[in-house]
Amino acid sequence: MPTVHFRGREIECDRGDVLRDVLRAADESPHNGRSSWFNCLGRGSCGTCAVCIRGPVTYRTKKETQRLRFPPHDAESGLRLACQTLVLGDIWVEKYPGFWGHHVDADGDSVGDGDIDADGDENSNIDADDDSQDNTDGTDADETTGDCDSTENQPE
């Protein structure tokens, strides 16, 4: 049974569960501030549930890739939408500050709280522009991890 590490908590879930649903069921939120009330309810269109993930999850869906290419996000940041990401194993999730959850400084360090537990597995990078990695329903997905801007807190 996979474990989601988020804001100092360990949350168990089933393999294939949607990350947003896992967090909400544990009374956690993938949103910051007002975006908790003003969001797309998990449809992948607003981008307010963007998080940094390390550990095995599904590849980006086409909808997620398209949304992360639209400002204020950047497809190269490695952030993922919690509502479009299926948990495949133990993961470490970090929510950056700001309405959209994408605030990092020029050095790539997150601006604010939410360190990632350093006991996680090493990353494998994904390419958001590679259409072969896109899937729409999480089936036949390969295990991958996000490649977030912050490198200071990467699991070893």
DSSP 18-83: BHHHHHHHTT--SS-GGGGTSS-SSSSSS-TTEEEEES-BPPPPHHHHHHHTSTT--GGG--EEGG
C-alpha gyration radius of the chain: 14
pLDDT at position 108 over 90? no
Residue for token pair 């890739």: 65
Direct distance between the N- and C-terminal alpha carbons of the chain, in angstroms, rounded to an integer:
22
> What is the DSSP code (8-state) at residue 110?
B
Domains and CATH numbers, the chain: 3-133 (3.10.20.30)
What's the whole-number mean pLDDT along residues 49-54? Answer: 94
* pLDDT winner (highest mean) among 52-56, 63-67, 96-100, 104-108: 52-56
Q: What is the average pLDDT across 45-58?
A: 92
Indicate the pairing of strand 91-94 with strand 3-6.
Answer: parallel
Q: What is the pTM of this model?
A: 0.69
Task: Report whether pLDDT(156) > 90.
Answer: no
Q: pLDDT of 121-152, one tens digit each?
A: 333 333 333 333 444 444 445 455 555 754 33
